[in-house]
């Protein structure tokens, strides 16, 4: 095995390792990035580049609830921009941030696959369609699933 083929084999396992780690910890802390880089024979900058490229990876702890708002064209045409503005006002955060109390992390999604029922959101892994500001407020005030 050549050095280059060994390196590509090491790199091939990086994505699954990032997913496993985030599933375990909820995010990718700095100390883990250094360990992953060493284990996969890549630089820290390469690992950080991969994390930054994919929207699903987080470098900070998430809120207790995860709210994703579809920002794709179909949802935009059906009012997701107004919904997004409402959400940001209500939560007091912008996309990519977590509320000060750690309750909700707000994330942009670029298609939730629910175009026929736009605008769509995903809250705590559950997909909702035809979401209005009022419906969203009600969903956020419901008891968080255990």
How many separate domains does the chain show?
A: 2
| Statement to judge: residues 37 and 69 lie in one domain | no
| Statement to judge: residues 81 and 105 lie in one domain | yes
| Statement to judge: residues 25 and 75 lie in one domain | no
> Mean pLDDT over residues 77-93, rounded?
97
Residue indicated by tokens 């949802």: 75
User: Which domain range does residue 15 map to?
Assistant: 3-53
| Statement to judge: residues 129 and 76 lie in one domain | yes
Q: Cβ(99)–Cβ(140) under 8 Å?
A: no
| Statement to judge: residues 93 and 127 lie in one domain | yes
CA distance 79 to 6: 49
| Statement to judge: residues 41 and 13 lie in one domain | yes
Q: Is residue 70 situated within a structural domain?
A: yes
pTM of the full predicted structure? 0.78
CA distance 121 to 67: 7
Q: Is residue 58 situated within a structural domain?
A: no
Q: Is residue 42 situated within a structural domain?
A: yes
Sheet bearing 65-70, strands edge to edge: 97-98, 104-109, 65-70, 121-123, 126-128
Q: Cβ(28)–Cβ(57) under 8 Å?
A: yes
> Mean pLDDT over residues 85-104, rounded?
96
| pLDDT at residue 4 greater than cutoff 80 | no
Residue 88 annotated as binding site: no
* pLDDT for res 56: 81
> Mean pLDDT over residues 6-31, rounded?
84
| Statement to judge: residues 36 and 73 lie in one domain | no
30-80, pLDDT tens digit by residue? 999 999 999 999 999 999 999 999 878 999 999 999 999 999 999 999 999
DSSP label at residue 113: S
Residue 117 annotated as binding site: no
Listed residues 12, 32, 53: the one ending a domain: 53
| Statement to judge: residues 80 and 24 lie in one domain | no
Q: Taking CA 107 as the corner, what is the angle to CA 101 and CA 110, rounded to the nearest 5 degrees?
A: 170
| pLDDT at residue 8 greater than cutoff 70 | no
| Statement to judge: residues 47 and 69 lie in one domain | no
């Amino acid at each position: 095995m050549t050095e280059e083929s060994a390196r590509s084999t090491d790199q091939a396992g990086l994505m699954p390792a990032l997913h496993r780690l985030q599933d375990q910890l909820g995010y990718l802390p700095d100390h883990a990035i250094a360990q992953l880089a060493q284990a996969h024979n890549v630089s820290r900058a390469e690992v950080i580049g991969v994390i930054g490229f994919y929207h699903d990876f987080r470098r900070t702890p998430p809120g207790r609830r995860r709210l994703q708002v579809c920002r794709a064209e179909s949802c935009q045409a059906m009012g997701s921009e107004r919904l997004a503005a409402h959400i940001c006002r209500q939560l007091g955060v912008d996309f990519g941030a977590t509320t000060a109390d750690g309750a909700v992390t707000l994330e942009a999604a670029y298609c939730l696959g629910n175009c026929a029922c736009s605008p769509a959101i995903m809250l705590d892994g559950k997909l909702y369609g035809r979401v209005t500001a009022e419906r969203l407020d009600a969903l956020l005030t419901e008891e968080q699933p255990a």
